[in-house]
Amino acid sequence: MKSILKELSNRVREAMTQIGADGDPLLATARDPKFGDYQSNCAMGLAKKLGKKPRDVAAELVAAIKVDDICQPLEIAGPGFINMRLKPEYVAECLGAVSPEDATGEDRLGIPKAAEPQTVVIDLSSPNLAKEMHVGHLRSTVIGDCVARVLEFEGHKVHRENHVGDWGTQFGMLVAHLRRVRPEVMDSPDDLEISDLESFYVEAKARFDADDDFKTESRETVVALQSGDEATRRIWKAFCNESLRHCHAIYDMLGVELQDRGESAYADLMKDVIARLDTARDAGQADFIRESDGALCMFLDGFTAKDGEPLPLIVRKSDGGFNYATSDLATIIHRIESLGATRIIYVVGLAQKQHFEMVFAATRKAGWAGDHVSLEHLGFGNMLTAGGRPFKTREGGTVKLKALLDEAIARARTTVEAQFSQESDGRPALGEDEIDAIAKTVGLGAVKYFDLWHALNSDYKFDLNTMCSLEGNTAPYMLYAYARIRSIGRKAGIDFTTLATDAPLSLEHPAEIALATKLAHFPEVLDVVCRDLHPNVLTEYLYELSKTFSRFYDRKVGVRVIDASPDEVRMSRLRLCDLTARIIKLGLKLLGIGTVEQM
């Protein structure tokens, strides 16, 4: 299964060359099937360049575009849109060529990998290790994981970097506190266990605020830590490892894999950042690097404070210390120069929009990122309570992510238990373990799906009732749709994995054509997600696909399937069912969501 959009774009590009023009064919999936399946808007732009009327250019193009094998006769609409409608035979051929499901679980539906794979770094999750992961870390983890899965699926080399905060001044306080309350950590750092990191932090902070000696000790500890003192580093490492264990319990639960590489990993490179900037400044090459009030700053075009004064990016504070920006500059250098990244994606809340704009501008200005490197901040809005307020415990603290996920699983378990703890319709009752497993898939799937279908740049309300509902654009709905389609195969007594695929599909009925065309769009939907990094494009597609399937399977508006005849037609329709289930399964997998075979 390959991208039809890509194939058509190539054909339009050839036609453009033929009429003496070049550029982007501006081809996209049509919004309204009334106008066909694809639409090209390139005639308008070309008309300007060529000094002709848009409709004339469109007509010239239509005469030159060679797509008889793929499309029905092209149509020109409005000011010069070129509409393309696929031939059902072509769709049948594309889908018919997909091999049966691969038993390895690596079903890719014959979708080819990118011709030119990139090395991509995805900066995701990245909590501060001083505290437990809270609800605010859900989005970066889930969105980052989805984007990583899609890019990886398309054949890119993906580094999932967990850029944890392990190097701020609060670690002086935490290490000092740890040394006092758990002196044994010195001898056996690996045995350290802190069951509640949150209250450990609160205790340390209370002592810090109340006790001046402790304050001094904390400050000295930071200095010792940052200058590489062995003993201090051992305690610090023990604390970070323990904190990371808490994080990984959540990553395991969510099925998220990533590489821990926190701010501390760049400690030496931060000195190098400053050295590089100093050298550039001293060589007189860079008047944008200047001292201001004792701090070393970079002045970048286009950034001004509220009062209109230039807004500097501080890279070395007046006390000589480094900050968040220094560590991010060092990190970018590492990613480009050591990991060889040509695309770096930061999945971090929109609150840090300006930070990343400035860091990216600084990286370019300093000459560390060439034009071949793309730097992208994939920002997102906040997750709010169902009532629309920021998440807080009754005491005003942060809500632990673990608690939220447990609640979603418990909620899903109630429904699953009601459904499966007794036998029904010839299906035996499920055991506790099986019920637990389904509840986990459904509960976590509900949370992830709900997060991912929201547009990235808006806030959303975390609403367990809605996300666990079997109706609407939710994970339970999608999982149910999947299980239902799988059961059609079982009822028909078909083993899809051994099905010969050389028989062409037969697409006659409008509901059949609509379903097949929708299925054929899948590769280009993935391409769009790879390019724009918006997971909701994928959830939207899957939702539409399952609605299209429902119409296809509806006896009134659609077709008969299990009892269809003759046999070629029945087989063809059953294969459409199989492809639908496989695309839903793969789509959900790319969202980080597992499937269950019965629901």
Please report, as ranges, the residues that interact with ligand ARG according to CB under 6 A. 123, 126-128, 163, 165, 328, 331, 346, 348
For the CB of residue 117, give the shortest distance to ligand ARG in the complex, in Å.
23
Tokens of 13: 């590009």
Q: For residue 480, report the phi and psi dihedrals to the nearest 5 degrees.
A: -65, -45
- Report residue 408 as tokens: 């979603």
Closer residue to ligand ARG, CB minimum distance, 123 or 145: 123
Phi, psi of 351 (to 5 degrees): -60, -25
Q: In what order do the strands lie in the sheet with 295-304?
A: 289-292, 295-304, 310-316
C-beta closer to ligand ARG: residue 260 or 328:
328
Question: Rounded to the nearest whole angstrom, what is the least distance from the CB of residue 531 to ligand ARG in the complex?
Answer: 22
Question: In the structure encoding, which two tokens stand for residue 257, read together?
Answer: 């894999």
What is the rounded CA–CA span in Å between residue 375 and residue 357? Answer: 9
Contact predicate 559/512, CB 8 Å: yes
Q: Is the Cβ of residue 128 or residue 506 nearer to ligand ARG in the bound state? A: 128
Specify the DSSP element, H or E, that contains 123.
strand 119-123
Return all residues near 10 (Cβ < 8 A) that are at least 6 apart.
Answer: none
Distance of alpha carbon 582 from alpha carbon 38, whole angstroms: 24
Shortest approach of ligand ARG to residue 135 CB, angstroms? 13
User: What is the smallest separation between the CB atom of 346 and ligand ARG, expressed in angstroms?
Assistant: 6
- Select 35 or 368, whichever has its Cβ closest to ligand ARG: 368
Q: Based on CB atoms, which residue is closest to ligand ARG, 21 or 130?
A: 130
R_g over Cα of the chain: 28
Write the secondary structure of 464-502 as one string of H (helix), E (strand) and C (coil).
Answer: HHHHCCCCCCCHHHHHHHHHHHHHHHHHHCCCHHHCCCC
In angstroms, the Cα distances linking 487 to 7, 99, 281, 282, 437 are 35, 20, 69, 72, 19
The residue (of 59 and 404) whose beta carbon lies closer to ligand ARG is: 404
Q: Are 589 and 515 in contact (CB under 8 A)?
A: no
Closest CA to 65 of 56, 55, 74, 52: 74
Q: How far is it, in rounded angstroms, from Cα 449 to Cα 482?
A: 15
Nearer to ligand ARG, 40 or 126 (CB): 126
CB of 349 to ligand ARG, least distance (A): 8
Shortest reach from residue 151's CB to ligand ARG, in Å: 18
In the complex with ligand ARG, which residue's Cβ is closer, 127 or 592?
127
- State in angstroms the smallest separation of the CB of 360 from ligand ARG: 12
418-425 long-range Cβ contacts below 8 angstroms, 24+ apart: 419/599
Taking the complex as a whole, how short is the minimal distance between the CB of residue 11 and ligand ARG, in angstroms?
A: 42
Q: 364: Cβ–Cβ under 8 A, 6 or more apart, which residues?
A: 375
Structure tokens at 296: 């070393």
Minimum distance from residue 440 beta carbon to ligand ARG (Å)? 27
Q: Taking the complex as a whole, how short is the minimal distance between the CB of residue 140 and ligand ARG, in angstroms? A: 8
Residue 366 CB, nearest approach to ligand ARG (Å): 17
Angle separating helix axes 54-64 and 42-50, nearest 10 degrees: 110
Closest CB to ligand ARG among residues 131, 149 = 131
The set of residues, in sequence order, having a beta carbon less than 8 Å from that of 394 and lying 6+ positions away, is none
Q: Which is nearer to ligand ARG, 162 or 595 (CB)?
A: 162
CB of 164 to ligand ARG, least distance (A): 6
**Of the two residues 236 and 346, which places its CB atom closer to ligand ARG in the complex?**
346
Cβ neighbours of residue 192 closer than 8 Å, sequence gap 6 or more: 178, 182, 185, 238, 239, 241, 242
| Minimum CB distance to ligand ARG, residue 143 (Å) | 13
Residue 581, Cα to own-chain centre: how many angstroms? Answer: 22
| Nearest to ligand ARG of 8, 375 (CB atom) | 375
Q: Which two tokens stand for residue 15?
A: 């036609």
CB closer to ligand ARG out of 163 and 365: 163
Whole-number Å distance between alpha carbons of 154 and 111: 8
38-40 and 27-29 as β-strands: parallel, antiparallel, unpaired?
Answer: antiparallel
